[in-house]
Every structure is written in structure tokens, then in C-alpha cells.
Structure 1
Amino acid sequence: MDKTGQIYQKGAGIVKASYEVALLVAKNMKAHTIAESLIMPAAKILVSHVIGEEVVAKLESVSVSNNTSNAAKTELLLSQDRSSTTTGKDIFNVLDNFFKQNELDWGKLVGCTTDGAPSMLGRKSGFQAHVKAVAPNATAVHCFIHRFALCAKVLPPKLLLCLN
């Protein structure tokens, strides 16, 4: 993302559309494949007849597929040794200094993946709370491995067998 946020803004609408379609499919308790086999073809027909064929190409960038070709990318923001404590406040201060040194705006932060002890990263007094104080619209997202583990703890045996 550049400092103006332009690259993010172009991709954010595409990702948001993809998630909103997935949410709509889930709320209607339909198979996830319906988006690829029915919704997207119908959207292309509607757009081509109502708005124009040239706009249909924009829909191609919205992923509604179960097997998306968009590769997930994880990048390390920074790596720094911690000689002091690792409280939520300490972690926030390290990141805040990094943001200031690189002229980054907390207000443009949309999501952050949290990984660690709830007491350290918690939403009441931990890292999440400090981020929310400077970026109220930021959303904390629990690490996907931990989400998987949390779900597995409460699944009925038949579903757990399927998951395993």
C-alpha cells in the first residue's frame, strides 16, 4: 500500500464484494458453489444489459470461487528483539514508533491479526484496546489457526470427525 492508500482502496472494494456475496450465500444456507455457478453469471448478464459490456470485465476481479487463484500473502511488518516486557502496551508502543518513523497513518488500518495471550492482546486493556484508541475502525482478527482450534473445541463429535 502506498502512503495515500490508493492501492488499498482499489482492492478493498473487490474484497468487500467477495465477502458480502459469501455472507449472502451463507445467510441463505446455500452451497458455496452457487456464487460461482449462478450469482456471478447472473450478475454479468445484468450488468452487461443494464450498464454495458465494458463494465462486465470489472466483475472478473471479484473472487466468488471456492478455489480462488488469489494467493494469500502474509508479510512481516517488522522484526525486533524485545528486551523488556511484552505487554499489550509494549507491543503497541513498538508498532506506534514504527508507524511514526515510516509516516504511516493508524487511521488507515483496517484489520490486524492478533496472535498471543488474551491478556496481552485483549480488547479491554491490551494491544487491541490501544489500537482502537488511535484507529477506532480497525478490526481485530484472531489468527486463523487459533480460530480453527477454538471451533474444534466445541464441535459435536460427528462434525469434529469430518473436520479432522
Structure 2
Amino acid sequence: MSYAVSLLIARTKKPHNIGETLIKPCLVECAHLLVGKSAESRMKKVSLSNNTIKSRIEYMTSNIKDQLITNVKASQWFGIQLDESVDIANLSQLMVFVRYVYNQGIEEDFLFCRPLERTTNAVDVMLLIENFVDAEELDWSRLSSICADGAPSMLGARSGFAELVKRQNPTVIATHCIIHPEALASRTMPQLLKQTLDCAIKIVNYIKTRP
């Protein structure tokens, strides 16, 4: 039961102590009213403390990661897509997504997220990727493609991230993220079309920021 409750808390992004301060008292009361004292006493034995919820979420996260790494290793080829953005603490975060073959189909999953604590150049990005690949014992020769934005630090011909990856696997294909050329195209579009696009963006943002 503690795993099921921990999963719900993680999905709703609630504080871990809500299990002990709210959820468990509600379960105990419901068990007492619906079933009886025997069920109430059993429900009280279920641990939903802050530490328990934390450890359960960490275990489930680790298990999901292990399953993903196993599936990627079993795939003949896999590709990665990189996205670098700044969080609310003004710290650059590198997010990496993976695409691989699984059960005769193509799967896409979130691979990992790591902070870029010093700079966001190609060397720092490559260092994070290398550390992850080496730690998880992934095979560079199975990396078929990488996708990133068109910044020189990512796709530069001499010192970009793509060029550093090709030193590990010369057959890697580097492509631009589809959003990047669209963003460039929006800068030169006619004014009337630009106003329509801006209006659509405002509507989407308005809907997304409200329940």
C-alpha cells in the first residue's frame, strides 16, 4: 500500500509528509467507518512517514531507470535529443531524451537531466553525456543520431557537441531540432501572419497556465 500511495504523491507533486499528516488519517478513519476496528488497526500499521514515502519514490525511480537502460541496451540502435533550459533558480539544466527500438516499434523516453553548473559549452555537455554513458555502460557504437538546436556549441563543425560525439562514433548523424528552424522562420514572416501567430501563442499559454 505504501508504494501505491507514494506513486500518487509523486504524480500529484505533493510534499512527502502529506502521507502521514493527511492521507493516513483519512485511510484510518475510512477503514473504521466502513469495515470496523480490525481494519482500522491494520491500517495504522501501514507506514506513510516522510522517510518512507521518500525511499519508496526513490526506489520506483531507480527501477524505472533500470528498465529503461535495459531496453536501450537491448536495442540495436538508439538516438538522443538534447535540450538545455534555465530553471527558476537560474541554473542551466541539460535534459536528454532517447529514442530506441522496443518490441518491433519505436519508443521515446526521458533519459536523464543534469545541471550545467559552470558553463553551457560543448565540452561541458559532452562531459555530462560521457559520464552517463560510461556509468550506465551504454555502447557508443549503437548511437545512431543526435538532435539539438542549431547553436554553434551544439552543432559547430569544429568544436561543437556533435563533432565531439563523432570522435566517439564517426557514423553518428547530427540533425537540428524541428523547433529551431520554425523559430528562425517566425522572425521573417509577414507582419499579418506574425500577429496571428502571436495571438495563437497567447491563447495556448493562457489555457496551459490555468486548470
Q: What TM-score do you get using the length of structure 1 for normalisation? A: 0.49
Structure with more relative contact order (C-alpha pairs < 8 Å, separation 6 or more): 1
Answer 1 or 2: which has greater strand percent: 2
Larger-gyration structure (1/2): 2
Q: What TM-score do you get using the length of structure 2 for normalisation? A: 0.40
